[in-house]
Structure 1
Amino acid sequence: MTVARPAGPLGPAANAIVALLEQRTGQQLDAGRAWRIDSALQPMLRERGLTTLDELVARINDRGGSEHGLADLVVDALLNQETSFFRDAATLDTVVQAAIDMVAESPRRLRIWSAACSTGQEPLSMAMLFAEASERTGILPPEIRATDISMRALMRARAARYTQFEIQRGLPIRRMMQWFEPRDDLWEAKAELRFRLLYGQQNLIADPMPGGKFDIVLCRNVLMYLSPVTRGAVLDRIATVLRPGGLLVLGAGETVIGHTEALVPSERYRGLYRPAAH
């Protein structure tokens, strides 16, 4: 597939890469984030003996070339994988309380989906919180499915190994000592925590939705990178896999309002969203 070369202030090669990112993921890279192109792709240029983005785009467009999948690697490198343990901790506490309420009203094992899970800190945080909630209340730990478009991020998530810097971002010492153990120069989540999670690759704009219905879906800090039209389409798709009475969790700066009629703010849980009544 040939990468288009739209004209613009970024230059033709950079614009081609921006177009490729949006085509594959729906994510837009505006001028304020254009610095990511050079910083993210410089290692790839050096590895391949290339000096300019024009050469990289030409190689992507070379159908007879030997580097199949180069476009995928470029897109993967440009994805924002910013995450941390217990990010927006108050929101996660609300999610756990909502889950406890759901089980109290209809006893069952819940299903939770962490969409765009990046390198795994969010689903691991949820697994820790539910393990603690299980000890307090007897709630059965939920099935937690975690997905991301980036195979590179998923490999790290499955390995559940983090640097000292990553482990200190949001993870209290008590939980670190309880759930992680040193492994070489890294910290690795213990097997009993890793085995609580199911990982899979998922493109939110193109792939089929995961099978079955979910009680809670977390899709945080993803919609902000999508165009309004794509944002609405993703929300509509997520609504199809929420159970009646289920909940959607977005990032602090995100909302469903003005983007979809399939979801509305939850009256019971501030900042969360539920399927619209029909």
Structure 2
Amino acid sequence: MQVWIDYDGRTHRIDVTMAPFSENKPRKPLVSIVRDLSSVLLQDMFVGFSSATGSMLSEHFVLGWSFRVKGKAQPLALSKLPILPVWDSKPARFFSFIKNWMPWISLLFIPLFLIIFLVRFLVRRKRKFAEELEDWETEFGKNRLRFKDLYYATKGFKDKNLLGSGGSGGFTEMSHRNLVPLVGYCRRRDELLLVYDYMPNGSLDKYLYNSPEVRLNWKQRFKVINGVASALFYLHEEWEQVVIHRDIKASNVLLDAEYNGRLGDFGLARLCDHGSGVR
């Protein structure tokens, strides 16, 4: 392309004319506007070129130019101008491909990523709720609970739902009004989860040490002591074997809705036959 820019300092008219490379200068300018450039055109200054690209990648080359103050610039000898350099179109084709095909690629890959995410989520969820089941557990099928049910029932085992903590252990065949009933269990990886009846008033230590604003009167205290003593008598004398609890403390005594003392946490308990000596 050829471009002519003419500025009349007297009339302040700017004419911009444009034509293909091999044609003469048109009579009618492409752009004509009146602007006073006296504040821009200084006595001593440099003249140069600048260019800008749009959304497409492109390169600009100035093969020749002619400039004159006061009068018309000398015409260019087009035959003597250098040859236009060969432009590497590979980057342009690449950017053109990205621009034209990216929406379609997105439409294809977004569902694919969603499917991969969903499959990964389901696999991780399956592993998260995976459990172990051995042959000996078939007879305790009614006491076996699903880890998934326990997880959702405790809202992910949140600390705010924690009533207390202690060791594991339990005897599924015991039944006494002052023992915490074992509802069921769940085995998962290296964990053994035991589920007992809910004791709404928590453990006894909360009333003795941790909550000075909550107190038990003497009638309630005697009721708790009698309940624990009744449970121990049952374990030592009335059950088919002797159960030595070996960890009687306030945190292992739970209180039901009526503040009856119930003994729990048999993690350190031992079994022995009636009449046998225990060391």
Same fold (TM over 0.5): no
Report the TM-score when normalising by structure 1.
0.20
Report the TM-score when normalising by structure 2.
0.20
Relative to total residues, which structure has the larger helix share, 1 or 2?
Answer: 1
| Greater Cα radius of gyration, structure 1 or 2 | 2
Give the number of the structure with larger relative contact order, counting CA–CA contacts within 8 Å between residues 6 or more apart.
Answer: 1
